């Protein structure tokens, strides 16, 4: 469905009760499934990806169901949706668990790479075959008791492969020593994984390019999941683009395990002040405005689109580097940004591999009413472009339901702040 969005007729003011972190939730769900001890998880994300993962694990861990499958030696098919973490975490989980499963995703997910993870698991003794294009889902996994040991892992494609191995590492007889090869992308997500594991009593060492996790038990300690800093980035963007703004965002922590908490510092350059209070943050505007900017998003790829659109709307020339993983996400995010920013007269040029330069040709400035933006089946495209309603009289966002992947209440939260959002039936 296409949504027509117009801005509030007053100051952007109010409170946002933010969704919980999808990244953190999915890691904790895996720990819960791998642990022999029970513990309570509070504030689990309501994202579509997390709900799918939770349902598959719940189904799998139902003891009678699981025993029956092993006895009958039947294949179980699981559709994992569009989530990269969902299918990659489950691949490692099922590789080390008896039984045969087939994992498939959406059309786009079945084009995204999984080969580095599959190769590593096969070297550890797993039996995995491709059912479609080699290197991508769908895959068939015949689970076995993996012993662990030493493994080399290509670290320049996706940190999710490394996280998937780390999560099962404590349960392997010999633990796991992961030797990382190449430039490490999204290292903040690897650090998040290790912090989650550490909460559950897991000991590890990360020296140079080797992460070592001995065989040990996950402890059954209760866990409260933080609100999602990636989702918070869209409210930072709205604060930056609004003429006047005062927003309170609940549930964010100053000492966060999420790498995307860097937005509190980044958005100072877009005139947004962050004040940490007991139960979240207060956002207000400042007059700060730089002549130009440059950021590297190697560690924070999920907020690159938010920053690109914010800079474009404020007409601040910016060079955005470290976009190595963006072509392999829900869509080719580099290409999608170039196409959609062109609609507001912004030039986004790829000046070198994984770098975009955003400039503003005089002849192309466009902020007229009715501009229509494609989401390219990407939740982050939908949410980062929604804020343009603050600089255009009216915008349209196509395929608006994609936000459910990470932030199902996004449109409701916008309405609560006074945005007028209507379905466009034309």
Fold of the CATH domain 22-224: UDP-n-acetylglucosamine1-carboxyvinyl-transferase; Chain (3.65.10)
Share of the chain above pLDDT 90, in %: 75
The structural domains of the chain, with segments of one domain joined by +, span 2-19+227-424, 22-224
Q: Classify residue 227 by its DSSP letter.
A: B
Question: What's 111-132 look like in SS3?
Answer: HCCCHHHHHHHHHCCCEEEECC
The rounded Cα 393 to chain-centroid distance in angstroms is 30
pLDDT above 60 for 64 = no
pLDDT above 60 for 41 = yes
- Please give the Cα distance from 332 to 356 (Å, whole number): 13
User: Cis ω on the peptide bond leading into residue 138 (within 30° of 0)?
Assistant: yes
**Residues 152-170: what's their mean pLDDT?**
92
Asked, colleague to colleague, whether 2-19+227-424 and 22-224 share their fold, the answer is: yes
Q: Which residues contact 67 (CB under 8 A, 6 or more apart)?
A: none
Is 413 a residue of the active site?
no
pLDDT above 70 for 364 = no
C-alpha dist (Å) from residue 197 to 24, 57, 91, 165, 262: 11, 18, 19, 12, 22
* DSSP letters spanning 62-115: -HHHHHHHHHHT-EEEEE-TT-HHHHHHHHHHHHTSSEEEEEE--TTGGGS--H
Domain 2-19+227-424 sits in CATH 3.30.1330.10: no
The pTM for the full model equals 0.91
Instruction: Look at residue 357 in the predicted model and tell me its pLDDT.
Output: 86
Annotated catalytic residue, options 119, 302, 378, 413: 302
pLDDT above 90 for 77 = yes
What angle do the packed helices 304-314 and 229-241 form, to 10 degrees? Answer: 0
pLDDT above 80 for 290 = yes
């Amino acid at each position: 469905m296409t949504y027509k969005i117009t801005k509030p007729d007053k100051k952007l003011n109010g409170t946002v009760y933010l969704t919980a972190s999808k990244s953190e939730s999915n890691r904790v769900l895996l720990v819960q499934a791998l642990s022999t001890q029970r513990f309570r998880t509070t504030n689990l994300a309501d994202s579509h990806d997390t709900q799918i993962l939770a349902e598959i694990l719940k189904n799998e861990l139902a003891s009678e169901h699981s025993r029956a499958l092993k006895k009958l030696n039947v294949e179980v098919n699981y559709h994992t949706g569009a989530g990269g973490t969902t299918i990659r975490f489950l691949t490692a989980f099922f590789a080390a668990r008896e039984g045969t499963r087939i994992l498939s995703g959406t059309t786009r997910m079945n084009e995204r790479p999984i080969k580095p993870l599959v190769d590593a698991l096969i070297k550890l003794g797993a039996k995995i075959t491709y059912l479609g294009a080699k290197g991508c889902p769908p895959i068939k996994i015949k689970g076995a008791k993996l012993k662990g040991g030493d493994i080399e892992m290509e670290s320049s494609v996706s940190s999710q492969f490394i996280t998937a191995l780390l999560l099962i590492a404590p349960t392997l007889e010999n633990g796991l020593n992961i030797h990382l090869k190449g430039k490490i992308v999204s290292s903040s997500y690897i650090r998040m994984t290790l912090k989650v594991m550490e909460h559950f009593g897991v000991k590890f060492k990360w020296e140079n390019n080797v992460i070592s996790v001995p065989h040990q038990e996950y402890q059954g300690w209760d866990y409260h999941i933080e609100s999602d800093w990636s989702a918070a980035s869209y409210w930072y963007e709205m604060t930056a683009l609004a003429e006047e703004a005062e927003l309170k965002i609940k549930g964010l922590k100053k000492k966060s395990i999420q790498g995307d908490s860097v937005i509190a510092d980044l958005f100072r350059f877009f005139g947004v002040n962050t004040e940490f209070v007991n139960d979240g943050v207060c956002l207000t505007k400042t007059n700060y405005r730089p002549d130009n900017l440059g950021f590297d998003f190697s560690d924070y790829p999920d907020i690159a689109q938010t920053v690109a659109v914010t800079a474009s709307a404020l007409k601040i020339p910016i060079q955005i580097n470290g976009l190595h993983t963006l072509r392999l996400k829900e869509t080719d995010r580099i290409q999608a940004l170039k196409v959609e920013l062109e609609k507001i007269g912004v030039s986004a040029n790829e000046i070198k591999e994984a770098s975009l330069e955003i400039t503003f040709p005089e002849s192309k400035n466009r902020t007229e009413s009715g501009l229509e933006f494609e989401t390219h089946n990407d939740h982050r495209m939908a949410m980062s472009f929604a804020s343009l309603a603050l600089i255009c009289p009216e915008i349209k966002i196509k395929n608006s339901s994609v936000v459910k992947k990470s932030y199902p209440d996004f449109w409701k939260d916008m309405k609560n702040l006074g945005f007028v959002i209507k379905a466009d039936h034309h």
